[in-house]
Amino acid sequence: MAGIKATSIFTPDIIETAAELAVKTEIPENIIIEKFGLVEKRVASSNMHASDLAIAAGKKVLEDIKPESIDVVIYFGSPFKDYQVWTASSRIQYELGAINAYSFEMMNVSSCFPLALKVAKDMINSDPYINNILLAGGSKESMIINHDNPRSRFMFNFADGGAAALVSRDAAESEILGSSIITDGSFSKDVLVPGSGSVHPVSQKVVDDKSHYIDVPDSLSMKQRLDPVSIPNFIKVIETALERSGVKLEDLKVLLPLHTKKSMFHELLNKLGLDENQAVYLDHFGHMSALDPCYGLHIAEGKGLLKKGDIAVAVSAGTGYTWAATVIRWLEE
């Protein structure tokens, strides 16, 4: 039975408030708080990068388990890392002292944590030699926002942090159940960093045009196509994951979503029959790529939201566009 044995988060010390973001974006502070649901977010210092943030979170998990007992390290964090064409996972494995583990990376931007839980569970169930898998991720996506770009400045909620989860064969704390994933590749080019890849290699023009920041080439078109399917796809993956877990919708107790604007958050809760006390909303942290549901799980556990037998769902969506949900049954008293 594969389950989550422990979680941890690393929260950078630097705080950027809604008032400060209002100056950068020229969006009123009350709109940032009330509509976009962001009171403040965390920003990493200049000497901390995605792998450093993942390592800092991973160290906390390994306080209660020997690093030598880790069989696999999977990086599930932001694709914006310390370097291009580089594996953060191998550095994380080395720095954490997981000398018996092999490592690899999962890259599916913000949707990746529910996917990583599924992959870790499936690996344990299919390979008797794997007992402990460390999922570790970092996000420093505050660096890729161009606040002067009206097409993409709504992504000002992009924030920094680290998160980790230990998935184990003998977890007594929780059990990972079913998952559901939807991908709609018609959105594959709607959100991207246009410059510095092979299509537009690094050049003076890329720098001058600021195309090395994240962009939404046609934000109006994306909104027109995304709005009708986003909530239905969220609901579909949640309901399907619950069904595959042999669990009814009314048994869902805690929702662990990515950070979204408030209207979407409330619509999700209403359609699922949940109230705000049954979810973790990261209005004091921001959106940290794939880390959000892992952050939410750690916070929910710390607040005592998860009781024995409770059903939680980690749910997220990532540009590209993929919606993913994984069900967790909490076992610990």
Sign of CA dihedral 162, 167, 168, 171: positive
In tens, the pLDDT along 172-208 reads 999 999 999 999 999 999 999 999 999 999 999 999 9
What share of residues in the chain are helix, strand, coil (percent, to 5)? 40, 25, 35
pLDDT band at 75 (very low <50, low <70, confident <90, very high): very high
Query: Mean pLDDT score of the chain, rounded to an integer?
Result: 97
- Domain range 176-330, CATH architecture: 3-Layer(aba) Sandwich (3.40)
The four Cα atoms 187, 80, 52, 15 give a dihedral, to 10 degrees, of -80
User: What was the pLDDT predicted at 315?
Assistant: 98
Inform me whether the pLDDT recorded for 333 exceeds 60.
no
CATH 3.90.1150.10 fits 3-172, yes or no: no
Taking the model in full, what pTM does it have?
A: 0.97
Inform me whether the pLDDT recorded for 317 exceeds 60.
yes
Would you give the distance in Å from CA 190 to the centre of its chain? 19
Domain ranges of the chain: 3-172, 176-330
E-only strand ranges, 48-188 = 72-75, 102-105, 132-140, 160-168, 174-183
